[in-house]
Amino acid sequence: VSEIYIGIDLGGTNIKIGCFDEKLNLLCKTSVITEAQMEPKVVVERINAGTRKLLADNNIPMESVKAVGIGVPGPSNVENGMIIAAPNLPLFKNVPIRDMLSEKFDKPVVFENDANVACWGEHAVGAGKGIDNMVFFTLGTGIGGGIITEGKLLHGFNNNATELGHLIVRPGGRVCGCGQKGCAEAHASASSTAARAQEAIEAGAESSLKKVLEDNKQITCKDVFEHAKSGDKFATEIVEETAKCLAILCIDLLHTTGPERIVFAGGMIAAGEQLLGRVKHYYEEYLWTLKAEKTEICFATLGEDAGIIGAAALALYETGNK
Amino acid sequence: VSEIYIGIDLGGTNIKIGCFDEKLNLLCKTSVITEAQMEPKVVVERINAGTRKLLADNNIPMESVKAVGIGVPGPSNVENGMIIAAPNLPLFKNVPIRDMLSEKFDKPVVFENDANVACWGEHAVGAGKGIDNMVFFTLGTGIGGGIITEGKLLHGFNNNATELGHLIVRPGGRVCGCGQKGCAEAHASASSTAARAQEAIEAGAESSLKKVLEDNKQITCKDVFEHAKSGDKFATEIVEETAKCLAILCIDLLHTTGPERIVFAGGMIAAGEQLLGRVKHYYEEYLWTLKAEKTEICFATLGEDAGIIGAAALALYETGNK
| Nearest one of A95, A3, A2 to A43, comparing CA atoms | A95
CB contact under 8 A, B163 and A291: no
CB contact under 8 A, A179 and B288: yes
Spell out which residues of chain B touch residue A290, defining contact as CB-CB under 8 Å: 177-179
- CA distances to A255, B100, B114, B177, B185 from B169, rounded to whole Å, are 13, 40, 24, 15, 9
Spell out which residues of chain B touch residue A288, defining contact as CB-CB under 8 Å: 166, 176, 178-180
Return the percentage of chain B with pLDDT > 70, whole number.
99
- What pLDDT is recorded for position A1? 57
- pTM for this entry: 0.96
Question: What is the nearest CA distance from A63 to chain B, expressed in angstroms?
Answer: 36
- What pLDDT is recorded for position B75? 82
Q: ipTM score of the complex?
A: 0.95
Q: In the predicted model, what is the mean pLDDT of residues A31-44?
A: 94
Provide the 8-state DSSP code for B176: P
Tell me the per-residue pLDDT of A124-143, one tens digit each, with 9 for 90 and over. 999 999 999 999 999 999 99
Tell me the per-residue pLDDT of A176-211, one tens digit each, with 9 for 90 and over. 999 999 999 999 999 999 999 999 999 999 999 999
> Out of A161, A287, A295, whose CB is closest to B257?
A161
Residue A191: which H helix or E strand, with range?
helix A190-202
Spell out which residues of chain A touch residue B156, defining contact as CB-CB under 8 Å: 133, 149, 257-259
Question: What is the nearest CA distance from B164 to chain A, expressed in angstroms?
Answer: 6
The answer to whether the beta carbons of residues A106 and A54 sit under 8 Å apart is no
CB contact under 8 A, B168 and A248: yes
Torsion sign over Cα B144, B149, B153, B158? negative
Q: In the predicted model, what is the mean pLDDT of residues B257-264?
A: 98
Residue B148 and residue B110: Cα distance in Å, rounded?
17
Q: In the predicted model, what is the mean pLDDT of residues B30-37?
A: 94
Residue A125 and residue A140: Cα distance in Å, rounded?
22
- What pLDDT is recorded for position B175? 97
Residue B204 neighbours by CB distance under 10 Å:
7
Three-class secondary structure of residue B62 per DSSP: helix
Dmax over CA atoms of chain B, in Å, equals 64
- What pLDDT is recorded for position B177? 92
Spell out which residues of chain A touch residue B181, defining contact as CB-CB under 8 Å: 286
Torsion sign over Cα A217, A219, A223, A228? positive
